[in-house]
Amino acid sequence: MENQEILDEIKDELQTEKDLKKTERKIALYLLAFTLFNGVVFSFIYKGELLQNFYTAFMGLVIGFTAIGFAIGAIFALFPYQGFSYKKRYFRTALLCTLILQMIYCGMLLILSVMSWNGMW
């Protein structure tokens, strides 16, 4: 009876890890989509050469936002979550923080694009 309980715990833990990896992949895909969208919108909004603007935006979004997201993620990963170790919580939390930063930036870019179309900016 005791061996069966141990096997059930291991099976539940493996299933939870599979779900965690699946969620991390989804978050990474959303993050990639927002990064590309923000880079394209940025390159069209700001005046100048289109390719240079896209390169500048993409490097800023990839390097800057990722670094800030992972730094904030390190802090938020300190909070306990479903009994995961810090290492498992950190990557997921860092991805979520970076995604939230990208979403906020996307909202700001959309507001700026509306303002530029109306001649306000």
56-104 pLDDT per residue, tens? 888 888 899 889 999 999 998 888 776 777 887 888 889 999 999 999 9
**CA 56 to chain CA centroid, nearest Å:** 19
Give the domain extent around 49: 2-117
Domain total of the chain: 1
HSE, CB side, 13 Å, CA atoms: give it for residue 117.
8
Taking the C-alpha atoms of residue 77 and residue 91, their distance in angstroms, rounded to an integer, is 8
Please report how the helices 2-45 and 50-59 are oriented relative to each other, as an axis angle in degrees rounded to 10: 150
User: Between these two residues, 76 and 120, which has the higher pLDDT value?
Assistant: 76
Cβ atoms 31, 99 nearer than 8 A: yes
pLDDT for 106 equals 92
Cβ atoms 93, 77 nearer than 8 A: yes
- Judged against a pLDDT cut of 60, whether residue 47 lies above it is answered with yes
pLDDT for 4 equals 59
For the chain, percent helix, then strand, then coil, each to nearest 5? 85, 0, 15
3-state secondary structure of 96: helix
Cut 0.75: pTM above it: yes
